[in-house]
Amino acid sequence: MPNFDYETLSLDELEQIQKDVTKAIALYHSRKRKEAKAKLDAVAKEFGFSSAEDLVGDKPTKAKKAVVPVFRNPEDHSQVCGGKGRKPNWFYELKEQGYTDEQLMIENQ
């Protein structure tokens, strides 16, 4: 590795060295990534796949579970909410009017 006396360099020279090093690092990573992909493709072809992408495939997406409604507005049955997370405004308004959690539960209506 070259031995530089950075103390004697100007700010412009130091910034240029920094840019050059950043570019060299990016090129190094790109080159290594291409080498790794080539090796993976070779292994995939050994097993009858056309490329590493065919071997690995897409990542499966997690299916979100449907929220099961727990509470319902007794005055407007189209308004429902689950038991987790923040409750809608109508829930708090009905609580202020004197309704209890149990009265707002779907199973109790």
Predicted TM-score (pTM) of this structure: 0.46
Q: Say if residue 51 is in the same domain as residue 85.
A: no
Task: Report residues of the chain scoring pLDDT below 70.
Answer: 1, 57-59
| 76 touches 109 (CB < 8 A) | no
Amino acid 97: pLDDT: 94
Whose structure tokens read 């920094």? 18
Amino acid 58: pLDDT: 67
Amino acid 49: pLDDT: 86
In a domain, 65, yes or no: no
Q: Domain containing 97: what range?
A: 71-108
Amino acid 103: pLDDT: 92
The H or E element spanning position 81 is: strand 76-81
Amino acid 54: pLDDT: 79
Amino acid 99: pLDDT: 92
Q: Say if residue 46 is in the same domain as residue 76.
A: no
Q: Say if residue 45 is in the same domain as residue 78.
A: no
